[in-house]
Amino acid sequence: MQADTDARGPSEHAGQTPHILITGLPGVGKTTLIRELAKRLAEHNPAGFYTEEIRNAQGTREGFRLVTLCGRQLVLSHIRHPGPYRVSRYGVDVSGFEQLLAELDLRHAQSRLIVIDEIGKMECLSPRFRDDMTALLNSPKMLIATIALKGEGFIRQVIDRPDCRLVMVTRENRDRLKSDLSTELENNLGKETR
């Protein structure tokens, strides 16, 4: 699948509003974009989570924290987290993540809009996460998610789905995408409530 470089393009694939996958180079602003979209679409009560970096006093990244749109937090990974699940230098708390997913129960969320940051290597270590994402992608809910620029296995399967549209974020288009994507999502969510 080729990535759109902006939010323009077909708004439907096979009669269904596509899910939007946001990708781009590290540090380009994917998380900032998805957080802004969640804020702009707050009246639709989106469900899901975004990721924050955990940095030490010297500014060195030591891990990642998940923050749900309803205010819960979980340290997903940390350089000092023990255990068998590792991505690069980070130990990943898969059991804690799965417990958080069970509490969120995104499959049965009342919201029609699900926000996920991100579909990445750490998150994909969780069978529950992969199952939840598959169920959400197969449901009438709208999923907007950041996704790794490169990936195999489940990440590649999601990118290759015909009901998913890949949007490439760059430094040049990231500000415009906030407006373009929020307008597109607002229009699509409005159609579904009529």
Cα dihedral 120/121/124/126 (nearest 10): -130
Diameter over CA atoms, the chain? 52
- Total residue length of the chain: 194
Mean pLDDT along residues 3-13: 43
Confidence at residue 18, expressed as pLDDT on a 0 to 100 scale: 80
Confidence at residue 14, expressed as pLDDT on a 0 to 100 scale: 40
Mean pLDDT of the chain: 89
What is the rounded distance in angstroms from the CA atom of residue 95 to the CA atom of residue 110?
Answer: 25
Confidence at residue 150, expressed as pLDDT on a 0 to 100 scale: 85
Instruction: Identify the bridge partners of residue 145 per DSSP, sorted by sequence position.
Output: 21, 116
Confidence at residue 3, expressed as pLDDT on a 0 to 100 scale: 53
Confidence at residue 83, expressed as pLDDT on a 0 to 100 scale: 85
pLDDT over 70 for what percent of the chain? Answer: 89
- Residue entry with tokens 């900032």: 32
pLDDT value at 26 more than 60: yes
SS3 55: strand
Q: What is the pLDDT of residues 81-111, one digit of tens each?
A: 998 999 999 999 999 999 999 999 999 999 9
Confidence at residue 120, expressed as pLDDT on a 0 to 100 scale: 94
Q: How far apart are the first and last CA of the chain?
A: 31
The number of helix segments (H) and strand segments (E) in the chain equals 5, 9
Q: Which residue has the higher pLDDT, 147 or 1?
A: 147
Q: Which residues of 38-57 are buried (b: 16+ CB within 10 A; e: fewer)?
A: bebbeebebbbbbbbebeee
The H or E element spanning position 92 is strand 90-92
SS3 159: helix
Model confidence at 119, pLDDT cuts 50, 70, 90, reads very high
Question: CB 150: neighbour CB atoms within 10 A?
Answer: 9
What does pTM read for this prediction?
0.88
Radius of gyration of the chain (CA): 16
